[in-house]
Amino acid sequence: MTVTKIEEAGNTTPPEQLLADRGRRPEGSVVDVGGVRIGGREVIVIAGPCAVESREQINETARAVKRSGARMLRGGAFKPRTAPYSFQGLKHEGLQLLSQAKHKTGLPVVTEVMDTREVEAVCEHADVLQIGTRNMQSFELLQEVGRAAKPVLLKRGMSATIKELLYAAEYILKQGNQDVILCERGIRTFETATRNTLDLNAVPMLQRLTHLPVVVDPSHGTGKWWMVPIMAKGAVAVGADGLLVEVHNCPEEALSDGDQSLRPDRFEAMMRDLRGVALAVGREIASATQESLKEVVEAQPAYSNA
C-alpha cells in the first residue's frame, strides 16, 4: 500500500495538539444554542423526559421545566434500549412532537440520533444532536454529526476512559463541527447500589484537558430520582457547565427510566436549592419565580412518587 492510499483511507498526521486540547483555547469554549450559552458563567439546565411518549406528556413537561428555570428541553425520539422488546421511542413522530413543544415554550431541543441515516432528519427538528453512551465510539456516526450544522452533546461511554471521550470528540471536531458539549453520565463499576457510578472527578479533569464545555447527567449517574437533586449540587460544586436531568410529568407511568425521573415539583425544588451552590462557586443558574412555583404546585396536586 502506498502512503497515498492510507491518506485516501482517511488518515492524516495528528496535529501537535488535539483540536480538543485546552491549550488551543485556555479561556474555554462557549457553545451557543439559539442564544443559550453553554460554557459561560451560567450553569445551563437541560430537562425533560427520558422518552417522548405523547403530545400531552412532552408539552406538559416542557412547560413545567421551563417555569422552573430549565433553559433547554431534552427528550428521546429514538431510544436505545437493551432489549428489542422494550419501547423503542416514537421516532419521527417523536421528533415532530419535540418541535411542537419547542415552538410552544421557546426551549431549544436536545435529542439523540442513533443512525448515520437519520442525522439529516434529526437535524430538522433538533437544536442539539445527542450521541448516547452506547454510541460514543460509533465512529461513522461521530463523523456524520461532525459534518452537521448543529451542536453535539457527546455522552461518555459507560466504560470509556476520559482519554477515549476526548478522542471521540476529536472525531467530531476534525470534520469541522466545533460545537461539542461533553457529558459525564456515570460509569460502570462493580457497585450495584446505584445504576452507575457518577464520576464527578471527570469534570475538573476534563476541564483541565479540554476547552469544551462539560455537563453532568445525575439521572443516569444515579438511577434514583431522590439522589438526583443531591448529586446535581455536587456537579455544580465541582464546576459543571450544565446539567441534563430527566423530568416526567408522571414518573410512575413513564415508559422508560421512571425510577430516575423527577416530578416537576421536585425539579422545581432542586432548581431553587442549586442557586446557592452555584453562587458559592462563582456561577449562576436560572431559577423559577415565586409565581411559577405556585403555579406548578397548584396545577399538579396529586403527585404520587413517595
10 interacts with a copy of itself by CB under 8 A: yes
Cα distance between residue 170 and residue 282, in whole Å: 30
Among 59, 178, 194, 292, binds a copy of itself (CB under 8 A): 194
Residue 237 in grid coordinates = 460544586
Residue with smaller CB distance to a copy of itself, 34 or 100:
100
290 interacts with a copy of itself by CB under 8 A: no
3 interacts with a copy of itself by CB under 8 A: no
251 interacts with a copy of itself by CB under 8 A: no
197 interacts with a copy of itself by CB under 8 A: yes
The DSSP code sequence of the chain is --HHHHHHTT--PPPSS-TTBGGG-TT---EEETTEEETSSEEEEEEE-SB---HHHHHHHHHHHHHHT--EEE-BSS---SSTTS----HHHHHHHHHHHHHHH---EEEE---GGGHHHHHHH-SEEEEPGGGTT-HHHHHHHHTSSS-EEEEPPTT--HHHHHHHHHHHHHTT---EEEEE--B--S--SSSSB--TTHHHHHHHHBSS-EEE-HHHHHS-GGGHHHHHHHHHHTT-SEEEEEB-SSGGG-SS-GGGPBPHHHHHHHHHHHHHHHHHTT-EE----HHHHHHHHHH-TT----
Q: Which residues contact 19 (CB under 8 A, 6 or more apart)?
A: 170, 173, 174
Q: Is the alpha carbon torsion for 266, 206, 171, 133 positive or negative? A: negative
76 interacts with a copy of itself by CB under 8 A: no
Among 124, 147, 204, 294, binds a copy of itself (CB under 8 A): 204
238 interacts with a copy of itself by CB under 8 A: yes
Q: Which residues contact 93 (CB under 8 A, 6 or more apart)?
A: 77
Question: Would you tell me the crossing angle of helices 264-280 and 55-68 to the nearest 10 degrees?
Answer: 30
17 interacts with a copy of itself by CB under 8 A: no
Residue with smaller CB distance to a copy of itself, 41 or 294:
41
Give the range of 22-30, 103-111, 185-193, 287-295 binding a copy of itself by CB under 8 A.
Answer: 185-193
Residue with smaller CB distance to a copy of itself, 186 or 264:
186
Residue with smaller CB distance to a copy of itself, 33 or 51:
51
Give the range of 60-68, 98-106, 114-122, 242-250 binding a copy of itself by CB under 8 A.
Answer: 114-122
x/- track of binding to a copy of itself for residues 121-160 (CB under 8 A):
-------------xx-xxxxx----------------xx-
Minimum Å distance from CB 189 to a copy of itself?
5
234 interacts with a copy of itself by CB under 8 A: yes
303 interacts with a copy of itself by CB under 8 A: no
Give the range of 88-96, 176-184, 264-272, 294-302 binding a copy of itself by CB under 8 A.
Answer: 88-96
CB 47 within 8 A of CB 65: yes
Site for a copy of itself in 256-275 (CB under 8 A): 273
x/- track of binding to a copy of itself for residues 19-38 (CB under 8 A):
--------------------
88 interacts with a copy of itself by CB under 8 A: yes
Residue with smaller CB distance to a copy of itself, 111 or 138:
138
